[in-house]
Structure 1
Amino acid sequence: MKQVSVEQQLMLINGEWRASVSSEFFSIESPAERGSVIAEVPRSSAEDVDIAVKAAHAAFASWREVPAKERGKLLWRIADAVEEQAEDIARTIATETGNAIRTQARGEVKSVIEIFRYFAGVVSEIRGSTCPVDNNLMAYTQREPYGVVGAIVPWNAPVQLSSLKIAPAVAAGNTIVLKTAEDAPLGVLKLAKICAEYLPAGVVNVITGFGQECGEALTGHPLVNKLTFTGSTAVGKTIMRKAAERIVPVSLELGGKSPQIVFPDANNDKVVEGIISAMRFARQGQSCSAGTRLFLHESIFHSFVEKLVNRLGELKVGHPLDEESDMGSLINKKQFDKVTKFIEEGINDDNLELLIGGLPPQEGPLAEGYYHRPTLFACQNNNTRLAKEEIFGPVLLIMSWSDEEEVIKAANDSSYGLAAFVWTNDTKKALRTAGKIESGWIQVNRGGAQMPGLSYGGYKQSGIGREFSLEGMLDSYTQVKSIMIDFND
């Protein structure tokens, strides 16, 4: 790798910025410029995890006693500080993830601000209930924090997803040890620096490193009372097994293969734009909620495909810091090669027809990074591997349908159930279809991102638990205690 005077970042443990116990660092590669190192971060181990968890455990005793209203004020101040540093954080996100700054990275920072402000505002809703048992018997419940939360986040939207762990966990009175993704820790470390300015030492701890070296130690640490993970279904299953060994509650936001269903009355340019948004092309398709299976009604199939192909051809793939770029690069060589193999398989599959995109450029500026173009395949059925497995790249499969019940059956023919998108102007059809699709988050005539206040999470192998909402915070980061008082003499 090309490495010229690269800055060494430190990680946050117990309010201090420190290297790993081993003093080892590892390099963060620029996804836009192969072989170029943009920073080095500590390579933490089980020993570092132990120090961080014990710090969080020690901080919990006093943090849980801080009034909810005061915790909310601190979260609001964090949001204000993020807003002041928004452009710097966005540029860091774009640099380390490859996500285009105009279409993705700035929006991610905006979401972080909204998340912290939302949970700052709902802390007063952490309340219990009373039960009218008897005149001389008082029965009530109260919600209490778990203690130390162990959190692991991925690289595709690292700062946003970290805020979805930190803000609700801390708002509910927990402390947290968060492991960053090894490919994209820099933006999260900037968020950690802001948190450290306003929160007591040990409340938020952020470690960097690899899954097998520190992630496993975090999930198995005896002082961690709650686990939360966003990432692949395969890793989620491993974490769930680890949690089962100690009967630790776990929240999982995992993979997806989300369907989009377009009815005949939705054949217009606005829906084309919505489908591109829902497919998360601005994030190179690297999103668990991406609508990667597009079901077009047969009566509009060819005319709609023509519109979609033309629009995708207008998208500019380029350097993530270029204000003209609509799409940036994939995160790393491993992901780049994986997506390339899927596309090669699609090109060689007689059941698929390549409509636009294809294999990555071999020369020119795009060959310098891990760039893929938006790729579209027409697909004869829902049974090919490309239609079944999560690709996590800018690859969209299009299928034709004629019968409403059959297309809903095809949409549900997946081991995943995270998101779905329905496009129609007929309210009855929209509600009927949304009610039958087996997904945890369904959008009608909208392809945008999640919003704080509305629960988000998956069905089936897409996960357990909900995020983005008061409901998710209460279920994921508090436990219920029931208390009964007998007033009889």
Structure 2
Amino acid sequence: MTLFTGSSRVAEKLAVDLKGRVKLEDAGFDWKILGPDVHQEDYTAWVCDQDAYACSGQKCSAQSLLFMHENWSKTNLISKLKELAERRKLADLTIGPVLTFTTESLLEHTKNLLEIPGSKLLFGGEPLEDHSIPQVYGAIKPTAVYVPLEEIVKDKNYDLVTKEIFGPFQVITDYKSSQLPIVLEILEKMHAHLTAAVVSNDPLFLQEVIGKSVNGTTYAGLRARTTGAPQNHWFGPAGDPRGAGIGTPEAIKLVWSCHREIIYDYGPVSKDWEIPPST
């Protein structure tokens, strides 16, 4: 068995070359769903900000796509997210350089998303100012782009919207209760299924979403987040070579060993044993 941590492209090649005898820790385009029950608006906004922008979004489980139920759309959540994002400063490193994308490529991605009908810039979308970060790296303000749900699901837009940006960037959309099947369809089509969060205390809603998704690690409940993982963290999709686990004896055993059956039967055989009839 081989353990590998790295890019999706290399991971896919190794899975084929090693005929599945590999456990992979892969990055992913991570999602969060805010359910129909609205609680603790300030707390939820703070967790969303941390998940999307802490470490400048350069975490394998950073929040990439936020689905808001229409009940959340009626609150001040977006304005709270904007306020929290705007307090991040280079001076205290609550926002910083992006190692894998240039500023130009980040702004180009933003521009491409804004060409989708109905999309709009919620906040950010500008370069950081007054810095000495080399041009080979990225330096942008925490950014969020709204894209309508009905546009995300279209084939011509899907790959663009779900492109993983390893930086302070997220897509936000909203949905109605009747549109939950569309949300689940979007989740199913994703390339990687690492970390997810379902922010709801509604057991039936949790059951519906968790039962129809395959992420290796899913946080569920009012305090659900995508980052700040406990010691036990599993990649995904679950049950796949790309679903390696880290941090616990169970995960280590799965990655570094396998099940092998040994049945001992030492006897003895009775001295008066005779060959029995055939059965």
Q: TM-score, normalised on structure 2?
A: 0.78
Q: Given residue 488 of structure 1, which amino acid in structure 2 is its aligned partner?
A: P
User: Distance between the aligned counterparts of 1:359 and 1:456, measured in 2?
Assistant: 35
Deviation at 1:464, TM superposition (A): 3.2
Report % sequence identity: 21
Deviation at 1:335, TM superposition (A): 5.4
Partner of residue 229, structure 1: 4
Q: CA deviation at 1:428?
A: 3.9
Do residues 469 (structure 1) and 248 (structure 2) align?
yes
Which of 1 and 2 has higher RCO (CA within 8 Å, sep 6+)?
A: 2
Task: Give matches, 1:329-368, under 5 Å.
Answer: 329-332=97-100, 334=101, 336-361=103-128, 363-365=129-131, 368=134
Correspondences of 1:307-326 after superposition (within 5 Å): 307-316=80-89, 318=90, 324-326=92-94
Task: Give the conservation status (yes or no) of the 8 Å contact 1:440–1:457.
Answer: yes
Question: How far, CA to CA, are the matches of 1:430 and 1:293 in structure 2?
Answer: 18
Q: 2: CA distance between counterparts of 1:412 and 1:289? A: 17
Deviation, 1:330, is 1.0
Tell me, yes or no, if the aligned pair for 2:2 and 2:22 is still in contact at 8 Å: yes
Q: What residue is the counterpart of 1:441 in the other structure?
A: 217
1:193-342 alignment runs, 5 A limit:
226-244=1-19, 249-266=21-38, 268-279=41-52, 281-301=53-73, 303-316=76-89, 318=90, 324-332=92-100, 334=101, 336-342=103-109
| SS of structure 2 residue aligned to 1:251 | strand
Q: How far off its partner does 1:371 sit?
A: 1.7
Mapped partners of 2:118, 2:229: distance in 1: 34
Answer yes or no: is 1:418 the counterpart of 2:194: yes
Alignment CA distance shift 1:462-1:294 (3 Å): farther
Preserved CA contact (<8 Å) 2:122 2:143: yes
Count residues with an aligned counterpart: 252
Relative distance call for 1:374 and 1:237 in structure 2 (3 A) is: same
The yes-or-no answer on 1:393 pairing with 2:167 is yes
Partners of 2:5 and 2:46 in 1: CA distance: 27
Equivalent residue letter for 2:124: G
The alignment's TM-score, normalised by the length of structure 1, stands at: 0.47
Q: Is the 8 A contact 2:188 2:213 kept in 1?
A: yes
Separation in structure 2 between the aligned mates of residue 424 and residue 473 of structure 1, nearest angstrom: 31
Mapping for residues 130-141 of structure 1, pairs under 5 Å: none
SS in 2 for 1:391: coil
Shift of 1:251: 0.9
**Contact in 2 for aligned 1:278/1:291 (Cα 8 Å):** yes
Structure 1 residues without counterparts, runs of 5 or longer: 1-225
Instruction: Extract unaligned runs of 5+ from structure 2.
Output: 270-279
**1:331 deviation in Å?**
1.6
Give the secondary-structure state (helix, strand or coil) at the position aligned to 1:443: strand
Higher share of residues assigned helix: 1
Post-superposition CA distance 1:384-403 (Å, at most 9, x none): 23322212222111111012
For 2:258, which of 450, 467, 479 is the aligned residue? 479
